């Protein structure tokens, strides 16, 4: 069989009802968000508001919520790459059917009122696919009633019949489009084997599916161009090049011909759409490679930009660059949010864009101009050798940042005397005087890598108030000169390949950091075959490196596992450590480059007990009036229960996943390390309800109505250093 599809029992009457609904409901009705019955799209609506007009659950009765059903979407035991996987998916609901993805990226449809499975789709030959993350799926309905779900696994974009759960064979190649499509036009190097997937779903405009992508972070990152595919046929319709080529606007912001080797500048966090204007809005990430840009002098358009494109043609309407020549991995990490606000007595259509470094830009939707003052200030330019940091950066004056910008001695934790002394020793070792201090071999302390705002985004209510969760985390970054690393003769090839392909995330000394694990003792957990498999396919945030030759992968695995020190193994793998003419030729034709400097160490600033090395709050929930730029309230989000039991104030934790806001006056949000979902009073920030999930809910919830009952659903997939999970949990009021 080409594909495999599982059906749990659902009777012919149910199928008839589903097909009947497809015939009688128009697309405008299905995407009508005035009733709140459906949650038809990632972000709730095409503006990304994460707002629901439902009010059956409200401030007075939210404490009566109870679990209505749970659906098991856990990782199948025995599947390839057994590292536990998260569920970051914000599902969608269409006419009583909920569509989402499992931990190992199967697609499913269930009854939204009971959790009963209707069908489950398994992609073909999943062992060869990267197990990335899926934050959502796309629904499309034709004028004749055909319904499709589109979602991504690895580099494959699938079109699945929404009624039956089988591939739509008329789409692309038997139901699949390769996401490498359109990236190599104008480039004379091979991109076909580089990692390209999509963690966040695209968006539909007429019969176009407009897509961003997720790519690698190092010198082998593919270009992050924006593309539109015909939703009926899968044909590529247009491409907007985020890394310009000759004749494109922005080409002069890069050295000549760097488009032949520079990747990144991708939209991985999702996009929004103004259907009346016919304009799609999105943010882009940093160019490759992270933290060193010695071969990309200039402002580097269209990296780190808020961008507006004509949705029909892909032509540029306007852009707003938030970071010039990014050296700090300050991607735009969430969907923009479209709203209409009262500003100085006038109704203004705006784009609200939150950033990793805790800033909120409020831009005119037609021009891209900021409604609030933004200053350009001189910043340090003492970069690494070969580096040319940009001399000015933007500093919005309003709203004030929702997370810290610079680490000072006054920020150091005083949780205990021992914790303070432990962290102050680290503080004194590194540079921390400026937000835009260039990365260095000595090391820098910085905010803005993992939050302020993360991929869960924000919610905006009808009053123009934006609700944003924020992370408060300081990070240590040390860089290493590739040329300075001296290794034994027999291991040179393996370490060289590791430095080029792996050090950007796992560090030059293999100690890991950020969301990337240490590899120092990996031999205690994995065999060389398992490591080879993970390098080839990728897993989680790690991209696939199947562009490498088999002997290159073997060399990296041997270096990671330290097995080259064993003579028997060394002899059996000796050829893997000997560069060949074919490898040198491959390196000259494959897209990408070797940065001179790579990450040596990249980790959170923690105290000796593993708590953040700064004073609380360590995570917050914020309410910001977009019309005035003022904060209505700010409260800690999440807790370390062992600390609160000792009588310490609630500290907040980092959070992954975002909020929704409802007409019932509530903000629902999960995402915290304490594995809880909470409801807050949207007017005051008072917490009104909480529930301990079976595992961490590192996703954004949804709400909808079936048979006059309002539900709230969250994916509780666990992970992120917490116990694994795998359930979708639905809440409703007690009968």
pLDDT for 512 equals: 67
Q: Which residues contact 502 (CB under 8 A, 6 or more apart)?
A: 519, 556, 560
Q: Which residues contact 274 (CB under 8 A, 6 or more apart)?
A: 46, 47, 280, 281, 338, 349, 365
| Run of H or E residues at 589 | helix 581-589
Residue 620 CA to residue 612 CA, distance in Å, equals 14
pLDDT for 550 equals: 72
How would you classify the pairing of strands 337-343 and 316-321? unpaired
State how far the alpha carbon of 649 is from the alpha carbons of 114, 160, 410, 656, 686, in Å.
39, 49, 19, 22, 15
Judge if the upstream peptide bond of residue 634 is cis by omega within 30 degrees of 0. Answer: no
Q: Give the DSSP per-residue string, 505-548.
A: HH-TTS--BTTB---TTGGGT--HHHHHHHHHH-BTTBPP-TTS
| Run of H or E residues at 13 | helix 12-24
Q: Give the DSSP per-residue string, 219-238.
A: TTPPB--EEEEETTT--EEE
Structural domains in the chain, sorted by start = 478-604 (1.10.760.10)
Strand partners, 376: 394
Model pTM? Answer: 0.89
Gyration radius of the chain over CA positions: 25
Strand partners, 266: none
222 neighbors 293 (Cβ within 8 angstroms): no
Q: Give the DSSP per-residue string, 222-284.
A: PB--EEEEETTT--EEEEE-SS--TTSTTGGGS-TTGGGT--B----S-EEEETTTTEEEEE-
Q: Tell me if residue 646 falls in helix, strand or coil.
A: coil
529 neighbors 560 (Cβ within 8 angstroms): no
403 neighbors 446 (Cβ within 8 angstroms): no
- The closest of 395, 360, 403, 350 to 624, measured between CA atoms, is 360
448 neighbors 466 (Cβ within 8 angstroms): no
Query: What 8-state DSSP symbol labels residue 337?
Result: E
Q: Is the dihedral of CA 124, 101, 272, 111 positive or negative?
A: positive
The CB density around residue 676, as the number of other CB atoms within 10 Å, is 21
Q: How many alpha carbons fall within 13 Å on the CB side of residue 419?
A: 16
Reported for 103-108, long-range contacts at CB under 8 A and 24+ positions apart, including other chains, are 103/73, 103/74, 103/75, 103/717, 103/724, 103/726, 104/75, 104/76, 104/79, 104/131, 105/129, 105/131, 105/132, 105/134, 105/153, 106/73, 107/137, 107/149, 107/151, 107/158, 107/160, 107/165, 108/71, 108/73
Low-confidence ranges of the chain (pLDDT < 50): 1-27, 80-81, 129, 487-491, 565-586
Residue 567 CA to residue 71 CA, distance in Å, equals 51
Residue 86 CA to residue 726 CA, distance in Å, equals 8
Q: What is the pLDDT of residues 648-658, one digit of tens each?
A: 999 999 999 99
Burial of 520 (0-12, 13-18, 19+ CB in 10 A): middle
Residue 435 CA to residue 307 CA, distance in Å, equals 24
Q: Give the DSSP per-residue string, 284-302.
A: --PBSSTT--TT--S--TT
pLDDT for 579 equals: 47
Residue 711 CA to residue 703 CA, distance in Å, equals 5
Q: Which residues contact 109 (CB under 8 A, 6 or more apart)?
A: 97, 98, 99, 117, 118, 119, 120, 149, 162, 165
- The closest of 525, 520, 477, 483 to 500, measured between CA atoms, is 483
pLDDT for 21 equals: 40
The CB density around residue 431, as the number of other CB atoms within 10 Å, is 17
Residue 403 CA to residue 399 CA, distance in Å, equals 11
Q: Is the dihedral of CA 541, 542, 546, 547 positive or negative?
A: positive
Q: Which residues contact 249 (CB under 8 A, 6 or more apart)?
A: 301, 316
Q: Tell me if residue 663 falls in helix, strand or coil.
A: coil
pLDDT for 28 equals: 55
State how far the alpha carbon of 451 is from the alpha carbons of 153, 330, 472, in Å.
26, 9, 7
Q: Give the DSSP per-residue string, 398-446.
A: SSPPSS--S--GGGB--SSHHHHHHHHHHHTTSB-S-TTPPP-SS-EEE
- The closest of 696, 571, 519, 729 to 84, measured between CA atoms, is 696
Residue 122 CA to residue 73 CA, distance in Å, equals 12
Q: What is the pLDDT of residues 536-566, one digit of tens each?
A: 666 655 666 766 767 777 778 777 777 754 4
């Amino acid at each position: 069989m080409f594909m495999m599809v599982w059906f749990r029992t659902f009777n012919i009457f149910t199928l008839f009802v589903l097909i009947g609904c497809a015939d009688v409901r128009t697309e405008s009705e299905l995407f009508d968000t005035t009733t709140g019955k459906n949650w038809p799209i990632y972000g709730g609506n095409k503006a990304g508001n994460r707002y629901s007009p439902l009010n059956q659950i409200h401030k007075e009765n939210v404490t009566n919520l109870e679990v209505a059903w749970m659906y098991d979407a856990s990782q199948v035991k025995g599947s390839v790459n057994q590292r536990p996987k998260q569920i970051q998916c914000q599902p969608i609901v269409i006419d009583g059917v909920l569509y989402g993805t499992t931990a190992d990226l199967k697609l499913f449809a269930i009854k939204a009122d009971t959790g009963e499975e209707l069908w489950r789709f398994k992609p073909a030959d999943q062992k060869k696919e990267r197990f990335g993350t899926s934050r959502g799926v796309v629904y499309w309905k034709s004028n004749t009633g055909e319904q499709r779900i589109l979602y991504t696994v690895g580099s494959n974009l699938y079109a699945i019949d929404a009624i039956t759960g089988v591939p739509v064979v008329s789409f692309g190649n038997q139901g699949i489009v390769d996401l490498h499509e359109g990236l190599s036009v104008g480039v004379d190097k091979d991109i076909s084997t580089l990692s390209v997937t999509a963690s966040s779903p695209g968006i539909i405009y007429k019969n176009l599916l407009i897509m961003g992508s997720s790519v690698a972070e190092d010198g082998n990152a593919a270009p992050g161009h924006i593309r539109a595919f015909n939703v009926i046929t899968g044909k590529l319709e247009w491409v907007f090049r985020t890394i310009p080529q000759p004749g494109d606007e922005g080409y002069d912001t890069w050295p000549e011909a760097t488009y032949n080797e520079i990747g990144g500048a991708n939209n991985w966090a999702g996009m929004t759409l103004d259907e009346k204007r016919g304009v799609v809005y999105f943010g882009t990430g940093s160019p490759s490679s992270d933290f060193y840009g010695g071969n990309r002098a200039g402002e580097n358009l269209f990296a780190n930009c808020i961008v507006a494109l004509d949705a029909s043609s892909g032509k540029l309407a306007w852009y707003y660059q938030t970071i010039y020549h990014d050296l700090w991995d300050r991607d735009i990490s969430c969907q923009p949010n479209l709203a209409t606000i009262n500003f100085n007595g006038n109704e203004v259509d705006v784009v609200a864009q939150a950033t990793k470094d805790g800033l909120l830009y409020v831009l005119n939707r037609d021009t891209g101009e900021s409604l609030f003052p933004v200053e350009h200030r001189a910043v340090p330019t003492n970069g690494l050798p070969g580096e040319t940091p940009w001399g000015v950066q933007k500093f919005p004056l309003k709203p004030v940042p929702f997370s810290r910008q610079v680490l000072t001695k006054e920020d150091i934790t005083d949780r205990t005397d021992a914790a303070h002394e432990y962290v102050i020793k680290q503080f004194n070792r590194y540079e921390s005087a400026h937000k835009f201090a260039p990365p260095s071999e000595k090391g820098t302390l910085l905010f803005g890598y993992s939050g302020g705002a993360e991929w869960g985004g924000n919610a905006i209510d009808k009053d123009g108030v934006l609700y944003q969760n924020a992370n408060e985390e300081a990070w240590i970054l040390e860089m290493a000169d590739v040329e300075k690393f001296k290794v034994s003769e027999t291991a040179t090839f393996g370490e060289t390949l590791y430095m080029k392909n792996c050090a950007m995330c796992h560090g030059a000394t293999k100690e890991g950091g950020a969301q990337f694990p240490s590899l120092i003792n990996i031999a205690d957990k994995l065999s060389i075959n398992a490591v080879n498999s993970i390098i080839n396919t990728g897993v989680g945030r790690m991209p696939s490196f199947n562009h490498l030759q088999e002997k290159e992968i073997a060399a990296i695995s041997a270096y990671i596992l330290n097995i080259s020190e064993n003579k028997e193994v060394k002899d059996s793998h000796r050829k893997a450590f000997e560069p060949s003419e074919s490898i040198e030729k491959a390196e000259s034709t494959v897209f990408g480059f070797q940065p001179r400097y790579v990450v040596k160490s990249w980790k959170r600033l923690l105290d000796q007990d593993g708590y953040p090395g700064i004073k609380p709050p360590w995570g917050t929930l914020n309410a910001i009036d977009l019309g005035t730029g003022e904060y209505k309230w700010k409260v800690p989000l999440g807790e370390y229960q062992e600390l609160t039991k000792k009588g310490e104030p609630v500290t907040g934790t980092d959070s992954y996943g975002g909020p929704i806001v409802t007409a019932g006056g509530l903000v629902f949000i999960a995402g915290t390390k304490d594995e809880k979902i909470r409801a807050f009073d949207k007017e005051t920030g008072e917490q009104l309800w909480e529930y301990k999930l079976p595992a961490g809910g590192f996703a954004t919830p949804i709400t909808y109505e079936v048979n006059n009952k309002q539900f709230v659903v969250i994916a509780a997939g666990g992970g992120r250093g917490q116990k694994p999970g795998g359930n979708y949990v639905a809440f409703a009021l007690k009968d």
